[in-house]
């Protein structure tokens, strides 16, 4: 597994949250969201730079949300744009997790 410098070196407000250089995830889902975005880029679903621009756009959007909330939202947007997932299946699946019809295991 290689470390992609363009991922490790996001800059400015888009920089990955770190403490003393280490990545910091406040909760498991943040780590999953991070991993998903990198895996999909590695597999060529999109160029990393496309994701980065989406993320920067989300971060410019306002201060109410946490870094990884914006990250997840940027990822969702990109996958919707690319037709990888649809809004309908995403909200349906999320509702199933919220209702504990699926086991929420990270």
Partner 1 sequence: MSDAHHHHDHDHDHGGHHPEPPSEVEARALALESLLIDKGLITSDEVDRIISAYEHDIGPMIGARVVAHAWADPEYKARLLSDGPAALKELAIDYPASTRLVVVENEPGVHNAIVCTLCSCYPWAVLGLPPTWYKSAPYRSRMVSEPRSVLAEFGLSLTDGVAVNVWDSSSDVRYMVLPERPAGTEEWSEEQLASIVTRDCMIGVAKPRVPAESTTR
Closest CA to 87 of 97, 75, 77: 77
Question: Least distance in Å: CB of 13 to partner 1?
Answer: 19
Q: With contact defined as beta carbons under 8 Å apart, do 37 and 71 qualify?
A: yes
Question: Least distance in Å: CB of 53 to partner 1?
Answer: 19
In this structure, the number of other CB atoms found within 10 A of the CB of residue 76 comes to 15
Residue 42 lies near partner 1 (rule: CB under 8 A): yes
Cα dist from 98 to 39, 76, 104, whole Å: 25, 18, 8
Residue 75 lies near partner 1 (rule: CB under 8 A): yes
Q: Which residues bind partner 1 (CB under 8 A)?
A: 1-3, 7-8, 19-23, 25-29, 31-36, 38-40, 42-43, 45, 69, 72, 75-76, 79, 84-85, 89-91, 93-100, 102-106
């Amino acid at each position: 597994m290689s470390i992609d410098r363009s991922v490790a070196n996001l800059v400015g407000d888009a920089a990955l949250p770190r403490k003393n250089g280490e990545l910091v995830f406040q909760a498991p889902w943040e780590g999953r969201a991070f991993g998903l975005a990198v895996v999909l880029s590695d597999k060529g679903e999109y160029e990393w730079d496309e994701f980065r621009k989406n993320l920067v756009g989300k971060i410019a959007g306002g201060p109410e949300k946490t870094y990884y909330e914006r990250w997840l939202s940027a990822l969702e947007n990109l996958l919707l744009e690319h037709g990888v997932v649809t809004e309908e299946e995403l909200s349906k699946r999320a509702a199933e997790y919220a209702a504990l019809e699926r086991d929420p295991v990270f």
